[in-house]
A = this chain, B = another copy of it.
Amino acid sequence: MDDTFKPTDIKCLPGSFSSAWQSPSNIAIVKYWGKLPGQLPANPSLSLTLEKCHTETRLEMSRRDTAKEGFDVKIYFGGQEKPSFAPKIEKFFSRIEPYAPYLKDYCFTVRTDNTFPHSSGIASSASGMSALALCLTDFERTCGQTTAGQDFSRRASFYARLGSGSASRSIYGCAAVWGKTPAVENSSDLYAVPVPYDSVHPVFRNMCDTVLLIESGSKSVSSTEGHALMDGHPFARQRFVQAGNNVEALAAILREGDTEAFGHMAEAEALTLHAMMMTGEPYYILFKPFTITAIQAIWAYRRDTGAQVYFTLDAGANVHILYPEAEKDKIRDFIEKTLSPACGNCGFIHDNAGTGPGKLD
List residues of chain B with CB within 8 A of the CB of A239: 234-235
**Copies of this chain in the oligomer:** 2
Q: Which residue of B lies closest to A235 (CB)?
A: B235
Known contacts A235-B238, A238-B234, A238-B238: A279-B289 contact under CB 8 Å? no
Q: Does A292 contact B (CB under 8 A)?
A: yes
Map CB proximity to B onto A271-308 as digits: 1 under 8 Å, 0 otherwise: 11011101101010101111111011000000000000
A279 to B234, CA, bound (A): 14
With most chain B CB atoms within 10 A of its CB, the pick from A239, A271, A275, A293 is A275
With most chain B CB atoms within 10 A of its CB, the pick from A274, A289, A296 is A289
Known contacts A235-B238, A283-B267: A288-B278 contact under CB 8 Å? no
Q: Does A349 contact B (CB under 8 A)?
A: no
Q: Is the Cβ of B281 less than 8 Å from the Cβ of A268? A: yes
Q: Does A242 contact B (CB under 8 A)?
A: yes
Tally of chain A residues near chain B (CB < 8 A)? 26
Known contacts A238-B234, A271-B278: A292-B287 contact under CB 8 Å? yes
Specify the main secondary structure of chain A where it touches its partner: helix
List residues of chain B with CB within 8 A of the CB of A281: 268
Map CB proximity to B onto A228-244 as digits: 1 under 8 Å, 0 otherwise: 00000011001100100
A296 to B221, CA, bound (A): 14
Q: Is the Cβ of B292 less than 8 Å from the Cβ of A285? A: yes
A357 to B336, CA, bound (A): 53
Known contacts A235-B235, A242-B234, A272-B278: A293-B289 contact under CB 8 Å? yes
List residues of chain B with CB within 8 A of the CB of A290: 289
A271 to B277, CA, bound (A): 9
Q: Is the Cβ of A268 less than 8 Å from the Cβ of B292? A: no
Shortest 9 CB-CB contacts between residues of A and residues of B: A275-B275, A289-B289, A271-B278, A235-B235, A289-B292, A275-B278, A275-B279, A289-B293, A272-B279
